[in-house]
Amino acid sequence: MTTFAHLTPETRALAEHDNERRIAYLAEDRWIDYPRAREALQELERLISSPQRTRMPGLLLHGESNIGKSMIIEKFLRTHSSSDFNARTGLLQIDILAVEMPPAPQERRLCGQLLMALNAPYRAGDRLATVEHMALALLRKVGPRMIVVDEVHNLLAGSPREQRAALNLLKFLSNQLRCAVVVVGTRDALAAMQSDEQIVSRFPGLELPRWRENEDFRGFLAGFERQLPLKQASKLADSRAMVSMVMSATAGVTGKISALLSRAAEAAIHTGKERITAELLQSVVARARL
């Protein structure tokens, strides 16, 4: 039996499957560990472990679209997915409540998102005061240790007054619930958050930058290759030509790198090469629309 020593233990079993199963696997999300993602996860762990105090810490996790922010948040949520039933309140105790900033960033709609995340029905025509009171009452019973608000750059779709109101609501919830609040968005989120000095101090930024052609990038490519169910080693990180080709084709955007390497692996399976070569990668780059 082939050992496939170039693959992770989980991927070795997949390499024995037929082409159809392996190609289907390539379309699935995969977690690839790398230093900046590890730093972000460690910061999130620090926040959720913070003791309750008057001014709870927060974080703005930002970076351009497709850079890997959502993958980090989903990884963190999976780590803290367990919940306990509270017989006294009749509700589940949830460590992390995750929502999206609505496309129209109005307070009532944001409160509605929180209620939906709690599986609590509300009427779209209810007044702001009613929805806000309902959300706060339920959140106090549930007692989350952290609230995560994704797509916070949607704030820019609102008027300056709506932006301030939505941000003040997040600060209010953090103060009332004594929980950490993490907001996630593109670089545009920086502009939205910097309109208020108190908000800036409450949500220090942690950026996920584009990759540069360095040792960390080669390490990321090596880690990615170990999760591609190919029967032969491609040695992507050892090939200067392929490293430069990936960087040039993707501009260092994590999601584009993932898409390109997955397509190259699929081509390697279809052609029977079972490894990514510079020639194969070049042909995929020529056809790809990343």
Per-residue pLDDT reduced to its tens digit, 242-257: 999 999 999 999 999 9
For 162-179, the three-class secondary structure string (H helix, E strand, C coil) is HHHHHHHHHHHHHHHHCC
Return d(Cα 230, Cα 272) in angstroms, integer. Answer: 10
- Mean per-residue pLDDT for 172-201? 88
Q: What is the pLDDT of residue 199?
A: 83
pLDDT at 209: 96
List beta partners, residue 93.
84
Q: How many Å apart are CA 4 and CA 134, to the nearest integer?
A: 55
Q: What is the mean pLDDT of residues 139-148?
A: 93
As to burial, measured by CB atoms within 10 angstroms (0-12 exposed, 13-18 middle, 19+ buried), residue 137 is exposed
pLDDT in tens, 77-122: 999 876 665 556 555 678 999 999 999 888 989 999 999 998 888 7
Alpha-carbon torsion angle 3, 22, 71, 248, nearest 10: 90
The residue behind tokens 């919940």 is 83
Neighbours of 132 (CB within 10 A): 19
pLDDT attached to residue 82: 63
User: What is the reported pLDDT for 19?
Assistant: 96
pTM for the structure as a whole: 0.90
The per-residue pLDDT for 160 is 87
Q: Work out the pLDDT band at 22, boundaries 50, 70, 90.
A: very high
The candidate with the shortest Cα–Cα distance to 183, out of 162, 209, 203, is 203
pLDDT value of residue 90: 57
14: enclosing H helix or E strand: helix 9-15
Radius of gyration, CA atoms only, the chain = 22
CA proximity to 167, closest of 141, 180, 149 = 149
Do 138 and 115 touch, CB atoms closer than 8 A?
yes
Provide, rounded to the nearest whole percent, the portion of the chain with pLDDT above 90.
74
